[in-house]
Chains A and B, each alone.
Chain A
Amino acid sequence: MNQSYDTSKKIRHLLAGIFTLSLGASLIWLILEATGMPLTPDLGYVMNSVGDTGSINVVTAILMDYRGFDTLGEASVIFTSVAVTAAILAEPVFTLERPILSIITRRAIAYLVPVFFMFPLYVITHGHLSPGGGFQGGVSLAVLVILTHVVFGHNLAMKKIPFSLLTMGEYWAALSFGILGLLGIFTGVGFLANLATGVPRGIPGQLLSGGLIPVLNLIVGIKVAAGLSSLYITLEGNPRRKK
C-alpha cells in the first residue's frame, strides 16, 4: 500500500513538472512572439480616443471612459475586501508601541516624506496625460501611509492620519463615484457617460481636460489609498492570536 502510494505520488509529481515546464516554455514563446509582432491594437480606440474622450493617455481613456463600469467593479472589489477584513477583525488599537527606528532615519524620512507625497499626487492628477492614474497613485499613497507607520511609530501616525479619515474617504469616494455615474443617467445618455453629458472638454493635453476623467481619477485614487491603508492598519492593529 505504501509503495503504490509512493508511485502514484511520483507520477503526479512528474505530470505536474511536465505541465509546469511546458506552461513556462509556451509563455516564453508567446512573449517572444508578441515582441516580434508589429503593434496592431484595436485601431478604433487609438484613432478616436482623443476625439471621444479628450484624454491623451489611451489606457486611462479606456479605463475611465469606455470601460468606466469595469473600474467601478474593480473599486467595489477593494471595498468588499476592506469591509470583510473590518468585519472579521476587531477595530485597530495600538496599546503597545512597537520599537521605532533611530533618530537619524526618522529625521531623514521626515525631510523626504513631502517629496514622496508629490509623486502619487502627480500620478493621480496627470492620469489622463501621462502613464499612471488613480489606481497606481492610490496604491502609492497607501504605501506612504504604511511608511509613516513603520518609521514614526503607530501613535504619531494615527494622530497625523486618523483612522476615521481613512474610513470616511473610503465611503465618500465610493458614493461619489456612483453619483458621478448617475450624472449620465439624468442627462439621458447612459451610466458613467463622459463627454456626452455636456461637461466641458477642455483642450486635450492640458491639465483640465477630458471632461470627467480627472475627477474620476481623483476619486479612484482617494478610494484605493484609503481602502488599502485601512486594510494594513486593521491587520497591524489587531493583537497576535494565541494558539
Chain B
Amino acid sequence: MNSLGEYIALIIILACLVLSALSAVLIRGQITTIIVLSVFSVLCAVLFAMLQAVDVAMAEAVIGAGFLTALFVTAADKTRGQGS
C-alpha cells in the first residue's frame, strides 16, 4: 500500500466491515440479516481485491454474495413461522 488515498479507503472499508457485521447480529428479521451478510461479503471481496488477492476476492464475491444468499433465503422460506 503506497498512497495515502488507498490507506484511507482501506480504513473506510474496514470500518464498514465491522459495522455490517455488527448490524447483521443486531438487526431484527431474517431476510434483512441475510442481505446485510451479503453486503459484508461484498465488502470482504473488495478488501481482498485491494490486497492483491483477486482469486480469493472472486471466490468470496461469488459464494458469499451470490450462492449463500440464495441458500439462506431458501432455508428461511422453508422454515418460516417455526421457532422465533
Q: Is the CB of B71 within 8 A of A135?
A: no
**Separation of A6 and B46 alpha carbons in the complex (Å):** 42
Which residues of chain A have C-beta atoms less than 8 A from B7's C-beta?
35
Q: Which residues of A contact B71 (CB under 8 A)?
A: 231-232, 235
**Cβ contact within 8 Å between A146 and B62:** no
In which size bucket is the chain B interface? 20 to 34
Verify if A28 is at the interface (C-beta below 8 Å from B). yes
A140 to B59, CA, bound (A): 9
* Most A C-beta atoms less than 10 A away, residue of B52, B58, B62, B66: B62
Judge whether B82 and A243 touch: CB under 8 Å: yes
Interface centre among B7, B10, B63 (most CB of A within 10 A): B63
Does A208 sit within 8 A of B, measured CB to CB? Answer: no
Q: Does B4 contact A (CB under 8 A)?
A: no
Collect the chain A residues with CB atoms within 8 Å of residue B10's CB: 31-32, 35
Q: In the complex, what distance in Å separates the CA atom of A169 from the CA atom of B65? A: 25
Which of B51, B58, B74, B79 is the one whose CB lies under 8 Å from A136? B58
Closest beta carbon of chain A to B25's beta carbon, Å? 11
* Interface membership of A59, Cβ < 8 A: yes
Number of cross-chain contacts by CB at 8 Å: 62
A residues adjacent to B (C-beta < 8 A): 24, 28, 31-32, 34-36, 39, 57, 59-60, 123, 131-133, 135-136, 139-140, 142-143, 146, 150, 228, 231-232, 235-236, 238, 240-241, 243
- Among B52, B54, B55, B66, the residue within 8 A (CB) of A139 is B66
- Is B31 part of the contact surface with A, judged by Cβ < 8 Å? no
In the complex, the answer to whether B58 meets A123 with C-beta atoms within 8 Å is yes
Report Cα–Cα, A133/B59, bound state, in Å. Answer: 9
B67 and A228 within 8 A (CB) = yes
Contact call A35/B51, Cβ cutoff below 8 A: yes
The reply to whether B78 and A238 contact each other, CB–CB distance below 8 Å, is yes
B1, B66, B79: the one contacting A36 at CB < 8 Å is: B1
Known: A31-B51, A136-B55. 8 other contacts (CB 8 A): A28-B14, A59-B55, A132-B55, A139-B63, A143-B66, A228-B67, A236-B74, A240-B78
Q: Determine the chain A residues whose CB is within 8 A of the CB of B82 once the complex forms.
A: 241, 243
